[in-house]
Amino acid sequence: MREAGRGASERNGSERLFEGEPVGPGFAIGPAFITGETPVPEPEIRQSTRTPDQERDRFNDAVGRSISQLTKLRGRLALLPEESQLEISPLLDVYQRMLGPSRLQRGVMARIDDGLTAEAAVHDETEALALAMLAPHDGKKPVGEDAAAAERRAGEFREVGRRLIHNLTRTPFLALRHLPDGAVLVAETLRPSDAALIDPSRVAAVVLEGGGTTGHTAIMLRALGIPSVLAVHGLLDGLADGMALVVDGDTGQVIRDPDARTVRQARRHVAAYARERQELGRLRRLSSRMASGEKIQLQANLELPGELPLIAQSGAAGIGLLRTEFLFINAETLPDEATQYEVYSGVVSAMGSDPTTIRVLDWGGEKQSDALAQVGFSGDGEDENPALGLRGIRLLLRHPALLEAQFAAILRAAAKGSVQILLPMVTLAGEIVVAREIYERVARRLKRKGIEIGDPLPPLGAMIETPAAALMAGTLARHVDFLAIGTNDLTMYTLAADRASAEVASLYDPLHPAVLTMISGVVTAALHERKPVSLCGEIAGDPRITPLLIGLGLRSLSMTASAVPRVKQVVRSSRYEDCHRLARRVLAETEKEDIRRLLEEFREN
Ligand code: PEP
Ligand code: MG
């Protein structure tokens, strides 16, 4: 991952180049419009001279105003593209729930009873809730995705607190009304609800000095389709309203005060980008059939239900891999069958007639989970080498109650649409046999209870992500309904190179001849057993590799949603014969460099 805010460098004359975090793809040039908001004053008067009843009335009045503002905001959303609405609405739901009878409201009332002013009570309560989110659990500070989720949640409390205090103190909100058309909005920070107020047809780009790629503001800007770069440190120092800015939302580069040559280049780039967007947008509705007629299924991988709008936008034909780990990551208690059913059925229904492939929990040995500790899984590093320890199907078979609850929830969700189930980290046919017994037992139990489940039972498949599974693919295929090749792990285990290690990053290469030979062998074995096979590792989303994967015999690829249009473009312009010839030549090579050269040559021809 890039380091946030990589700073600035001098260019010609007064031109300066800044590097930040790209969060909204796109390219733009326009005059800077610097905006800031009147800071919410720390409540000066903390002890109230009013009665608690009067303070409560003031608070209720501010709640009423806040709700009606959010309702208005929701009305404005109706003008945005459907994808953006789907992205932003859940956040407004969160705010509105917080403003209803909630822990926040009870906490504020208790502080008012203790003699505080309404604004001091709101400030202290929302800050306390935010800090509780960010505090270490069991002595451990959240890291990675957990930390990002905790920060988002803390941000939600602070956002609601600020809105309430704005309304109690009658301080104005961020002034976006006077934003000139085509301007680049620049601010130190931007709150998600203010981002939602931006009219994407009027703003060329958004650049912020602060902010991170996973926050709600970033999500909003992406959903609105605005080229955006965050964490551009130092941009505001020396920037004046109206000064030209060139913004590259794909690379994170921002050029301040560009010279005439850079401006000419940027204008050409803007025009080319607009053409490309039009072309990719058009692709969404077109089929993913090759120039020679073969149909290639292009699906999306989903890590969080929040990505659903992006999937709709991408034109993916269903979900090829729904990773269910998100349900367990931040959970203090195990998500029960009902909770899981809610989530899965929501996703399955949203996909309509397109299929959803749900992978049962693939918990890695190195991850911690309070929830999983309840079934006796410690995850505290007992395994010397976690990647080779109790993960995926091994963990589930050691704690079958986990698998039973997950199967039951998925089976019930299958009544809402088209579902497939995937078993992760398989190395033995016996693991599939036991998992299938549990699966069928759970199905019989649900049927006995008269609960509606998928009929016929959803297909059960196995991930091929270990060399053992790849070499035994034919045997495994006889026990399942389909195979899915996970090249992220297959590469790691085949090359003995950790997928997360920077030290061996140059050795971790899915184009290594050993990995490609394995993929080829799996596809051949699956075809021999007449079982469908797909590929859902990261290389599925790399358009440079698409012709090779097709040439190796794959007809189904699942990738990050945003990659679908570019991969589709390659599929539509390729002929199967050429891909097949490319694959044969690639399989004859022994050096990675030569393989890359062949792919490059194929692209250029
Ligand atoms: C893979 O290993 O390629 C895969 C798709 O699974 P994950 O990335 O979730 O391990
Ligand atoms: Mg994997």
Is residue 42 situated within a structural domain? no
User: 371 and 350 in one domain?
Assistant: yes
Q: Name the most confidently modeled range: 306-320, 373-387, 440-454, 498-512.
A: 440-454
Identify the domain containing residue 134 by its residue range: 52-169
Which residue's CA is minimally distant from atom 8 of ligand 1?
488
User: 90 and 163 in one domain?
Assistant: yes
Tell which of 113, 147, 169 closes a domain.
Answer: 169
- Predicted confidence at residue 208, as pLDDT, reads 93
User: 510 and 385 in one domain?
Assistant: yes
- Ligand 1 touching residue 89 (CB < 6 A): no
Banded pLDDT at 162 (limits 50, 70, 90): confident
Is residue 440 situated within a structural domain? yes
Is residue 366 situated within a structural domain? yes
- Predicted confidence at residue 176, as pLDDT, reads 67
State the average pLDDT over residues 158-181.
79
Lowest mean pLDDT among 36-40, 227-231, 591-595: 36-40
Here the contacts of 366-372 (C-beta below 8 Å, separation 24 or greater) are 367/329, 368/140, 369/328, 369/329, 369/331, 370/137, 370/138, 370/331, 370/332, 370/333, 371/328, 371/331, 371/332, 371/333, 371/334, 371/335, 372/328, 372/334, 372/402
Lowest mean pLDDT among 172-181, 386-395, 454-463: 172-181
**Residue 33 pLDDT > 90, yes or no?**
yes
State the average pLDDT over residues 566-575.
95
Tell which of 258, 280, 302 closes a domain.
Answer: 280
Ligand 1 pocket mutation pick from 329, 465, 533, 535 by most atoms within 8 angstroms of CB: 465
- Predicted confidence at residue 382, as pLDDT, reads 57
Atom of ligand 1 nearest to the CA of 364: 10
Atom of ligand 1 nearest to the CA of 325: 9
**Residue 140 pLDDT > 90, yes or no?**
no
What are the helix (H) ranges across 391-512? 393-398, 400-413, 429-448, 467-471, 473-479, 487-495
State the average pLDDT over residues 460-482.
98
Say which CATH number the domain at 219 has: 3.50.30.10
- Predicted confidence at residue 579, as pLDDT, reads 98
Say which CATH number the domain at 100 has: 1.10.274.10
d(CA 193, CA 457): 43
What letter does residue 47 receive in the DSSP assignment? B
- Predicted confidence at residue 41, as pLDDT, reads 60
User: 316 and 193 in one domain?
Assistant: no
- Predicted confidence at residue 166, as pLDDT, reads 83
Q: What is the dihedral of CA 202, 205, 208, 212, to 10 degrees?
A: 110
3-state secondary structure 113-142: HCCECHHHHHHHHHHHHHHHHHCCECCECC
pLDDT digits (tens, 9 = 90+) for 41-98: 678 788 999 999 999 999 999 999 888 878 777 766 665 556 666 767 777 888 888 8
Q: Name the most confidently modeled range: 31-35, 180-184, 428-432, 495-499.
A: 428-432
- Predicted confidence at residue 83, as pLDDT, reads 60
Question: What is the number of domains present in the chain?
Answer: 3
User: 289 and 248 in one domain?
Assistant: no
Atom of ligand 1 nearest to the CA of 484: 5
Is residue 344 situated within a structural domain? yes
User: 197 and 134 in one domain?
Assistant: no
Cβ-contact 133, 153 below 8 angstroms: yes
**Residue 139 pLDDT > 80, yes or no?**
no
User: 484 and 383 in one domain?
Assistant: yes
Question: How far, in Å, is the centroid of ligand 2 from the Cα of 424?
Answer: 7
User: 559 and 432 in one domain?
Assistant: yes
Residues labelled as active-site residues: 216, 536
Residue % of the chain over a pLDDT of 70: 88
User: 341 and 203 in one domain?
Assistant: no
Is residue 176 situated within a structural domain? no
Is residue 120 situated within a structural domain? yes
d(CA 463, CA 146): 26
Lowest mean pLDDT among 25-29, 370-374, 415-419, 481-485: 370-374
**Residue 355 pLDDT > 70, yes or no?**
yes
Question: How far, in Å, is the centroid of ligand 1 from the Cα of 124?
Answer: 43
Is residue 424 situated within a structural domain? yes
- Ligand 1 touching residue 65 (CB < 6 A): no
User: 528 and 456 in one domain?
Assistant: yes
Say which CATH number the domain at 292 has: 3.20.20.60
Atom of ligand 1 nearest to the CA of 492: 2
- Ligand 1 touching residue 489 (CB < 6 A): yes
User: 518 and 373 in one domain?
Assistant: yes
- Predicted confidence at residue 282, as pLDDT, reads 84
- Ligand 1 touching residue 323 (CB < 6 A): yes
State the average pLDDT over residues 392-406.
94
Tell which of 169, 195, 216 closes a domain.
Answer: 169
- Ligand 1 touching residue 364 (CB < 6 A): no
Say which amino acid occupies 501: S
- Ligand 1 touching residue 159 (CB < 6 A): no
Pairing of strands 27-34, 244-248: antiparallel
Atom of ligand 1 nearest to the CA of 359: 9
- Ligand 1 touching residue 574 (CB < 6 A): no
Q: What is the pTM of this model?
A: 0.64
Is residue 231 situated within a structural domain? yes
Q: Name the most confidently modeled range: 89-93, 361-365, 486-490.
A: 486-490
Which residue's CA is minimally distant from atom 6 of ligand 1?
486
State the average pLDDT over residues 421-441.
98
User: 435 and 403 in one domain?
Assistant: yes
State the average pLDDT over residues 369-386.
63
- Ligand 1 touching residue 488 (CB < 6 A): yes
Which residue's CA is minimally distant from atom 9 of ligand 1?
323
Ligand 1 pocket mutation pick from 426, 536, 539 by most atoms within 8 angstroms of CB: 536
d(CA 299, CA 320): 5
Banded pLDDT at 2 (limits 50, 70, 90): very low
- Predicted confidence at residue 439, as pLDDT, reads 98
State the average pLDDT over residues 145-153.
79
